[in-house]
Structure 1
């Protein structure tokens, strides 16, 4: 519970920080970006950062290092984190797509 809560807070902090830096960079470059786009990208950054942090907390680093040595274990664990995070992103995209299809079909059924 504490690990998941920590990952959530960490992801929120990292995502908010990266989004703030990005918006500040765009503002200094005098580029106009729609607010909805900035919020959407910021939300994706928060979700991605939270997922990577959560997967990092749940990785079995000591086993990886024991099995593959220090450098090999860190590389192996990092590859596991990246692979599982990418799988989560693909599932999230699929779930959003399925929900959009269901909503659209429900909307079409009203008429």
Structure 2
């Protein structure tokens, strides 16, 4: 097995201590994504190495981002945008593609 040494795992875990996140404060099973209801209040939570603990409160998403990204002054840049599914030409070479059979006329002759 390729188990990671405990020392490496502990270093990765400890590097995340102090990380902040914003959680929407909505009743019941309401929207969970940050982009949904940006005007909703947010609870700011801090990772202590074992669980998320209350850290603060923000009136909306913009205020929450200002608290979370206070050190960097701006949120992280988004990564590359993936190509939407189904926009290809269908001529890909991936393993899931079946090889295209040569076209023939109904009598078995190849087209001219």
- The two structures have a TM-score, normalised by structure 1, of 0.28
Of the two structures, which has the highest relative contact order with CA contacts closer than 8 Å and spacing of 6 or more? 1
Tell me which protein shows more helix as a share of its residues: 1
**In terms of Rg, which structure is larger?**
2
Tell me which protein shows more strand as a share of its residues: 2
